[in-house]
Amino acid sequence: MKKPSTVRRIITTDLPVLMIVLFAMAPFAWMVLTSLTPTKALNATGVSISPAGWSLDNYVRLLQQTSFLDNMLDSLIIACGTMALGLAVAVTAAYAFSRFRFTGRKLLMLQFLLINMFPIVLLILPLFVLMRKVGLLDTHFGLILANATVAIPFAVWMLTSYVGAIPKSLDEAAMIDGCSRLTALRRVVLPLMLPGIISTGIYIFITAWNEYLYALTLGGRNVRPVTVAIQTLIGEYQIEWGLLAAGAIVGAMPATILFLLVQRRLIGGMTQGAVKG
């Protein structure tokens, strides 16, 4: 094949890509600019594009006048709790699915896939009624359980594919050397699974951090994760876009950074199934 000249490459590839990147970035960039413009200037002249009009005023107000840091803590507790619960039950389940052939295996795998497809509304309403009955409404544990409805099936599937990629001969060798099944799992398979566990865990963290509907319905007063808190920044009389933008950016930051850090490995795991079809 001929190698196309640089100019041609720039016109047919670089420019279109640049436009798509701008399209993907522009709304977020606009949000950043909004958050940097003090409210007075925002109301008078609109978003300031030049650095001269920028200040951290909105961020200072966010941290000093609102309970945003407490909300971040709520989100952190819920996201970490969901991650721990999801991984704890999914690791052994994934090991069982990939190393054993037993009656009901397909059916059980199917049910984990099926749960992931259920509309969240169908679960949110009965969960509300049930949690109200047992007093779990508006608690961290209640929200952790709710988020686990999404996290567990996802973790089981991701980890099953990771364990499947670890050669069986390794745990068989360990068992011939006298390890029991569980010791082989702990000593041999678990260390090899670690990259998979970490990226699955991070993805669970991100989805639990970003989750909104459960947080709104099952939490909201005592336990108020950032996604719900951001909305309350809207203000009573008029929409405070500057403050709102600052909250949105601070609230989105942890998950976005994590996502960018692990995206390559995560996407590898997620696309495997799709690509092999």
Please list every residue from 77 through 106 that binds another protein, using CB under 8 A: 85, 88-90, 92-93, 95-102, 105-106
Tell me: does residue 49 bind another protein (CB under 8 A).
Answer: no
Nearer to another protein, 188 or 228 (CB): 228
Residue 7 interacts with another protein (CB under 8 A)? no
Using CB under 8 A, which of the segments 56-64, 66-74, 191-199, 220-228 binds another protein?
220-228
Least spacing, CB of residue 65 vs another protein, in Å? 19
Ranges within 155-174 binding another protein (CB under 8 A): 156-158, 160-161, 164, 168, 172
Write down the least CB distance from residue 79 to another protein, Å.
Answer: 12
Contact window for another protein (CB under 8 A) among 56-64, 66-74, 186-194, 249-257: 249-257
Closest CA to 226 of 85, 73, 94, 114: 73
Q: Are 147 and 78 in contact (CB under 8 A)?
A: yes
> For another protein, which stretch binds (CB under 8 A), given 59-67, 76-84, 108-116, 191-199?
108-116
Residue that is written with structure tokens 């925002």 in the block: 42
Binding flag, residue 152, another protein (CB under 8 A):
yes
Site for another protein in 109-128 (CB under 8 A): 109-115, 117-128
In the block, tokens 């947080």 appear at 215
Interacting residue with another protein among 184, 230, 243, 246 (CB under 8 A) = 230
**Residue 13 within binding range of another protein, rule CB under 8 A:** yes
User: According to CB under 8 A, which one of 72, 202, 243, 252 is a site residue for another protein?
Assistant: 252
What part of residues 50-79 is at the interface with another protein (CB under 8 A)? none
Minimum CB distance to another protein, residue 163 (Å):
8
End-to-end CA distance of the chain: 30
Q: Which of 212, 220, 232, 265 binds another protein (CB under 8 A)?
A: 212
CB of 27 to another protein, least distance (A): 5
Cβ atoms of 159 and 200 closer than 8 Å: yes
Kindly state the number of chain residues that form the binding site for another protein, as judged by CB under 8 A.
Answer: 103
Q: Does 11 contact another protein by CB under 8 A?
A: no
Which two three-digit tokens encode residue 11? 């016109």
